[in-house]
Amino acid sequence: MSSQKHSDKENPSSGSAFGSAPAAADRELQQGPECDPATADQLEKLRAEKQELMDTLVRRQADFENYRKRVEKERQQEHHRGIEGLIESLLPVLDAFERALAVQDDPGYAEYRKGFELIYRQLWEALAKRGLERIESTGKEFNPHFHHAIERVETTEHADGIVVGELQPGYVFHGRVLRPAMVRVATNAAPAGKREN
């Protein structure tokens, strides 16, 4: 019994058939160059083929990841375009609500007006949650990217190029102008020298 324990200590891998097989395979791979030339040449070819397959796999994984990201981005853009089309078709409804609310100030229509304002507010909040923003115009400097000048108003109360009135609101959806605001722009009739004084 003690002699068996002694032999196990000298050769620890002898206790398991599974432990000795991988170790032997590793030794064979390491001793590959010492094999006959035909086997060594074949082993080298197999290693090169394995490396080529690993490189191809890494490239395919990278290509697939890029493809997945591109498809996700295109899907998001398609989603935004769909919402954008719906919102564009609802802008005239918002305009109609605003005109109706601006005209009817008769006290007899107070309850009717409250209901109308509630519907307008709900519609606006639903669109704003999707990313719609109103372009602030009045009192701002004219910007051709956001404003469409319909009329020039001669005035000395405002600086030249300042928006003094909004005829139709403009809207932005996720940073893209859906519709520019139609505005009146101040222009000073006085000569430049007099304005400086």
Count of CA atoms in the C-beta half-sphere (13 A) of 42: 5
**CA-closest candidate to residue 149, choices 180, 116, 120, 184:** 184
* Separation between Cα atoms, residue 64 and residue 74, nearest integer Å: 15
Predicted confidence (pLDDT) per residue in 139-162, tens digit: 899 999 999 999 898 888 888 899
Cβ atoms 130, 114 nearer than 8 A: no
pLDDT higher than 50, residue 58: yes
Please check whether residue 184 is in contact with residue 167, taking contact to mean a CB–CB distance below 8 angstroms.
yes
Catalogue all structural domains in the chain, each as residue range(s) with its CATH number: 132-197 (2.30.22.10)
Token digits of residue 157? 């109360």
Q: What confidence score (pLDDT) does residue 182 get?
A: 93
pLDDT at position 176 over 50: yes
